[in-house]
Structure 1
Amino acid sequence: MFLNSRTPQLPTREQALTGRPEPAFAVPDRHTVLGNPLLGPYPEGLEVADFGMGCFWGAERKFWQLPAGVWTTLVGYQGGYTENPTYEEVCSGRTGHTEAVRVVYDPRVTSYGRLLRTFWESHNPTQGFRQGNDVGTQYRSAIYTHSAAQAATAEASREAYQKVLTASGHGTISTEILPAEGRAFYPAEAYHQQYLDKNPAGYCGIGGTGVELGDPFETNWGVSCPTGIAPAPESADQ
């Protein structure tokens, strides 16, 4: 990961790198922790959620460590224009992609709301093109939704989290919430997949605000200010 002193700017489609019609590298068959295939098609009944929350090494680990319901995770590039990009191309700032985590989960065991809680509490969504010391458009906060239900839940959770962030002295959420349709997810190189399982002492650039969103099973998002939310007395980036 890198630190760039210039103010990052997203490229337009015309400014973005062209990319290539086929991937430039192979992706491992199976998850090193969960043991399941990384790439689809996935078993019937499973659903897909896509999140951008800074450096995808630490972000992916947050989801595979959930106690139940996550079938597989993989990291990649999403939200931009360049087809089948490489890591170096994404780091150039000329693809429009953000570093993303794809979470394949069983909605009979866990909920999209539970994944959203992990998303919001595991990074600082108010920092724009940055996460901690990592600066660049590829570190922006994003949710790419796969259904109208996901979109509605994501929007309601953003509204709920903004209320407690504001009450705790934090700024405005910059997270983009957009349909995954038309925003292809391109898996990252093999060495990025489950990086912190293979390198337990490796770099992890994400850190939450310390403000909690509360349990989605007890929270009625979108109706009133949610209950079960406890702001931390002090926030800090990791």
Structure 2
Amino acid sequence: MEIAYFATGCFWGAERRYWKIDGVTNTSVGYMGGTIANPSYEAVCTGATGHAEMVCVEFDPAIVTYRRLLEEFWTMHDPTSLNAQGGDIGTQYRSAIYTTTPEQMTEALATRDLYQNALTADGIGAIVTEILSAAGVEYYLAEEYHQKYLAKNPNGYDCHSSTGTAFPQGASI
């Protein structure tokens, strides 16, 4: 199994999108990229901790590729929106990828460039997604009530916005 980390704004909808993909064996939501240990949701929401709402995706690369997860990432939110997704505003809603291997970093950067070309062709601005190594960055599990939130609350709030631009199929990296 491999692990991938994605931040697309509110973590509820992103987690649901990933858990539905064949080959994804587990998902959880949490916080990464901040300055304090074991942050609470309330502290993260103040913006003072610097954490992003993150989805941890465990997947079987024999069934689903990291590239497929990246394609979902790029199109499920607006990666050109700085620190906001729709009505969710704040640094915790930033767009981010934390890679766990050098190969993931290479693919994340390459797919960013492919998607940027598609966005530019559609007259949409620059991607602001932070792409960083997860090495030395702690993932803090969010509170239990956030885990699989939209399974527990099927009509719950799915706060994602999107550019509407499809990921270019058949494009090689």
- TM-score by structure 2 length? 0.98
Query: Residue 56 of structure 1: which of 7, 11, 27 is its match?
Result: 11
Query: Residue 29 of structure 2: which of 53, 68, 75 is its match?
Result: 75
After TM superposition, give the deviation of residue 65 of structure 1 in Å: 1.2
State the structure with bigger RCO (CA 8 A, min sep 6), 1 or 2.
Answer: 2
- TM-score by structure 1 length? 0.72
Query: Residue 145 of structure 2: which of 191, 200, 221 is its match?
Result: 191
Residue type at the aligned position of 1:60 = E
Measured against aligned partners, the alpha-carbon deviations of 1:48-71 in whole angstroms (never above 9, x if no partner) come to 0000000001110110111x1000
Measured against aligned partners, the alpha-carbon deviations of 1:70-126 in whole angstroms (never above 9, x if no partner) come to 000000000111101000000011111000000000000010000000000100000
Measured against aligned partners, the alpha-carbon deviations of 1:144-202 in whole angstroms (never above 9, x if no partner) come to 00010000000000001001101111111000000001211100000000000000111
Gaps of 5+ in 2: none
CA distance in 2, matches of 1:64, 1:83: 27
1:43 alignment partner in structure 2: none
SS across alignment from 2:27? strand
Moved over 6 A (4+): none
CA distance in 2, matches of 1:81, 1:157: 29
Measured against aligned partners, the alpha-carbon deviations of 1:127-160 in whole angstroms (never above 9, x if no partner) come to 1110011000000000000010000000000001
1:164 aligns with 2:118: yes
SS across alignment from 1:128? coil
1:173 aligns with 2:92: no
Sequence identity (%):
52
Bigger strand share: 2
Gaps of 5+ in 1: 1-45, 222-238
CA distance in 2, matches of 1:147, 1:181: 9
Number of residues paired by the alignment? Answer: 173
Q: Which entry has the higher C-alpha Rg, 1 or 2? A: 1
